[in-house]
Amino acid sequence: MKFTELKWKSRDGVEILAQCREPDSQPPKAVVCLLHGLGEHSGRYAHVAEAFNREAYILVGADLRGHGRSGGARGHVDLIEDFMRDIDGLLGQARARYPGLPLILYGHSLGAILGLYYGLNHRPDLKGMIATSPALHSALENQPMKVLAAKVLGSLMPNLSLHSGLDPKSISRDEKVVRAYVNDPLVHYRVSLGFGKIILGVTKWTLEHAGEFTLPLLLMHGKADVLAFPSSSIEFAAALKDKCTLILWDGAYHELHNEPEQGEVFNVMTSWMDALLKD
C-alpha cells in the first residue's frame, strides 16, 4: 500500500486533511472518496483501504471539518454548504491526483447523509455512490429535548456544544473496535446546536427528495443498528424502487465495516463497484 497525506484550505480558510491509500502492485480501477461519520475520522478506515487496495481501488478519505485532524470547531458547521464545498474539494483533489480514473463516493453515517444530499443537490459527475448506515432516522429521535433545543436555539446559540449521546458499544459487536474507539484521541462526542438544526433540516429534505437521486447507489444497513435506524435506508431505497441496490445485514450494528462479517461487507462493495465499472 502506498500512503500519502494531503492538506488544502477550504474556501473559508479551514484546513482539510485527507489520506490517500493506493495499491502498489497493480494499476487502479477507480478512486473511492470517503466521508466518515459524526465524531470520528478517516484514519479509522485504514483496513477498509487495505480491502479496497487488494481489489485495485484507491481510497481517499478526508477528515470532515470539525473532525479528526482537519480544522474547525469540533462538531460544528455554520452552513451545510460548507460541507458541500469541502466535498467539492475532496473530489477535486482526487481528480487532480488521479486524472482519468472514475470516482465513487462512499459515505458512512453522517458521511452518508452528506453524500446523499450532495448527490441530490449538486448532481456530481461520479460513477456511483456507496452509502452505509445513513442516519436519516436516528437515535436523536428518542431525545426530544435535544431535538427541541436544536430547533429553537440552533439559530440563537448555534455554537453551543452538547454531548452527542453516542454509546460506543452500539457501533460494533467487536469489543476490540469499541475499545479502540473509546481510546482514540481524535474521536469526539461534541455536536453544536447549530449543527443539529442544520442536519435535522438536511435529513428531512433528503428523505422528501429521495426519488430524485440519479446516481447508481449501493445502500447498506445493519438490521440491529440503534444509532442510525434501518428505516433510513429502507425508506430512501423505496423511493428509488429498482434504481438502488439495498442490502440489510442481519444482526449487524452501525459500523458494517467494523463488524465480524466485514469481509463479506467488503466483498459486496468491491463486487458492486466491479459491476458498476463494466456498465
Catalytic residue among 225, 232, 233, 257: 225
Q: What is the DSSP string of 220-239?
A: EEETT-SSB-THHHHHHHHH
pLDDT digits (tens, 9 = 90+) for 6-59: 999 998 999 999 999 999 988 999 999 999 999 999 999 999 999 999 999 999
Reply yes or no on whether 250 is catalytic.
Answer: no
3-state helix, strand, coil in the chain (%, to 5): 45, 20, 35
Catalytic residue among 10, 70, 109, 233: 109
The predicted structure's pLDDT at residue 156? 65
The predicted structure's pLDDT at residue 149? 63
Going by the DSSP 8-state scheme, the letter that residue 278 receives in this structure is: H
The predicted structure's pLDDT at residue 102? 98
The stretches in the chain having pLDDT less than 70 are: 139-154, 156
Q: Which cell numbers in the block locate residue 213?
A: 437521486
Reply yes or no on whether 225 is catalytic.
Answer: yes
Catalytic residue among 36, 221, 254, 257: 254
Domains of the chain: 2-138+203-278 (3.40.50.1820)
Backbone angles phi, psi at 6, to 5 degrees: -120, 150
The predicted structure's pLDDT at residue 151? 64
Question: Cα separations (Å) of 124 from 104, 105, 239, 253?
Answer: 10, 10, 20, 30
The predicted structure's pLDDT at residue 61? 98
The predicted structure's pLDDT at residue 31? 98
The predicted structure's pLDDT at residue 142? 63
